[in-house]
């Protein structure tokens, strides 16, 4: 692959926002079936439909050339894709002055025991781990067949090799809302940051999302009765609004796509494992990057397609969740879009 040539013109959307953050789904497959994310009997994409890891690297490099400086690898579960560590190693070459400021990933933690050291050596310095319960039975219930001990062991191994850990927990009414204090305490003891997330109406699942949904404004009111939340200007380039928990010294983030939109500062787009560029998590419009990628070994057509897609990035998403609108806002599952 040719050495990267950085274009001084950044990706600017129609509302003047600079797109600097690319989330890349390397697979729609996952070894869990979390009840708010997937149906139990999922039909995944044929493997032949997926871009190769080399094609994904070329796409990421094209975005870096246009000013993207943060890449998050997602899935499904990204670490179940065969040889995915090679992608991390190749993208890691763009760190330390090569145009990329941060390379990271979101994972369910089940594969960290095998891959944490390789991730760190590739240049990954912090990771997000999805973990919605510290109760083994409830964890197995929500993931349908996940093992909590395997995930906790993997997180500890990742921490021991030097990776900074942030726990992501989806707040679910009647399921884990009584565990929030436990999660805050545990994260403080383990030196992990924590982000709470509202459930999102994406893809058909076996549950009613209205029955799952609890606004984080309600959760925050409960938290503030026990914990001291101190304002902070800390940000990671993502949608979290952070506070510091006075009693633990760790950060607590809130991602509120339904109760409080964060679109005015959106700086990210999402690339699927099939080469489709989604311009907004809550909209169906997308740009096809696979076709220009495969039409030419030169990047001219690909960069034009990226520019054309960014030129259609919407002002915001339209997530609604109530009983009359219990159908998903978008038909695709989160695992296809990449978080």
The model's pLDDT over 302-323, given as tens digits with 9 standing for 90+, comes to 999 999 999 999 887 554 444 4
Domain-embedded: residue 227:
no
Residue 206 has pLDDT above 70, yes or no: no
Distance CA 87, CA 60 (A): 10
Using one digit for the tens of pLDDT, what is the confidence trace for 236-285?
766 788 999 999 999 999 998 654 555 777 899 999 999 999 998 767 78
CATH, residue 116: 3.20.20.70
Within a domain: 126: yes
Domain membership of residue 328 (yes or no) is yes
- Cβ neighbours of residue 218 closer than 8 Å, sequence gap 6 or more: none
Q: Quick check: 105 pLDDT over 90?
A: yes
Residue 1 lies in a domain: no
Q: Facing residues of 139 across strands?
A: none
Say if 204 falls within a structural domain: no
For residue 327, being part of any structural domain is answered with yes
The number of folded domains in the chain is: 1
Range(s) of the domain holding residue 32: 21-165+265-337
pLDDT value for 284: 78
Please write the tens of the pLDDT for every residue from 122-149. Answer: 999 999 999 999 999 999 999 998 999 9
Any domain includes 198: no
Strands in 229-231's sheet, in edge-to-edge order, are 229-231, 241-245, 251-255, 193-198, 164-171, 126-130, 102-107, 70-74, 21-25, 268-271, 276-278, 286-288
Lowest mean pLDDT among 30-34, 71-75, 80-84, 85-89: 30-34
In-domain check, residue 235: no
């Amino acid at each position: 692959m040719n050495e990267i040539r950085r274009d001084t013109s950044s990706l600017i959307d129609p509302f003047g926002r600079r797109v600097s953050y690319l989330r890349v789904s390397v697979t729609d497959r996952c070894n869990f079936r979390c009840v708010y994310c997937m149906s139990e009997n999922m039909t995944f994409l044929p493997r032949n439909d997926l871009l190769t890891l080399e094609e994904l690297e070329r796409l990421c490099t094209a975005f870096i050339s246009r000013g993207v400086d943060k890449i998050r690898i997602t899935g499904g579960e990204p670490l179940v894709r065969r040889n995915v560590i090679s992608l991390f190693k190749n993208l890691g070459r763009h760190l330390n002055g090569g145009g990329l400021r941060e390379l990271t990933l979101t994972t369910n933690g089940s594969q960290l025991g095998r891959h944490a050291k390789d991730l760190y050596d590739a240049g990954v310095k912090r990771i997000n781990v999805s973990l919605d319960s510290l109760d083994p039975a409830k964890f197995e219930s929500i993931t349908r067949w996940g093992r909590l001990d395997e995930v906790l062991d993997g997180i500890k191994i990742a921490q021991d090799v030097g990776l900074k850990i942030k726990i992501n927990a989806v707040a679910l009414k009647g399921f884990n809302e009584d565990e929030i204090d436990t999660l805050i305490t545990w994260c403080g003891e383990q030196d992990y940051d924590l982000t709470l997330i509202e459930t999102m109406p994406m893809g058909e699942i076996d549950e009613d999302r209205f029955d799952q949904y609890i606004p984080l404004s309600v959760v925050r009111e409960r938290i503030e009765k026990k914990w001291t939340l101190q304002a902070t200007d800390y940000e990671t380039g993502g949608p979290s609004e952070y506070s510091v928990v006075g009693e633990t010294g760790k950060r607590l983030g809130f991602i509120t796509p339904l109760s409080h939109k964060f679109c005015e500062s959106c700086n990210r787009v999402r690339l699927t494992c099939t080469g489709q560029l989604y311009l907004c998590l809550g909209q169906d419009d997308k740009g096809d990057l696979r076709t220009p990628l495969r039409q030419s070994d030169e990047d001219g057509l690909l960069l034009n397609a990226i520019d054309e897609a960014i030129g259609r990035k919407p002002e915001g998403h339209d997530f609604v969740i109530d009983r009359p609108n219990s159908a998903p806002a978008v038909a695709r599952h989160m695992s296809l879009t990449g978080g």
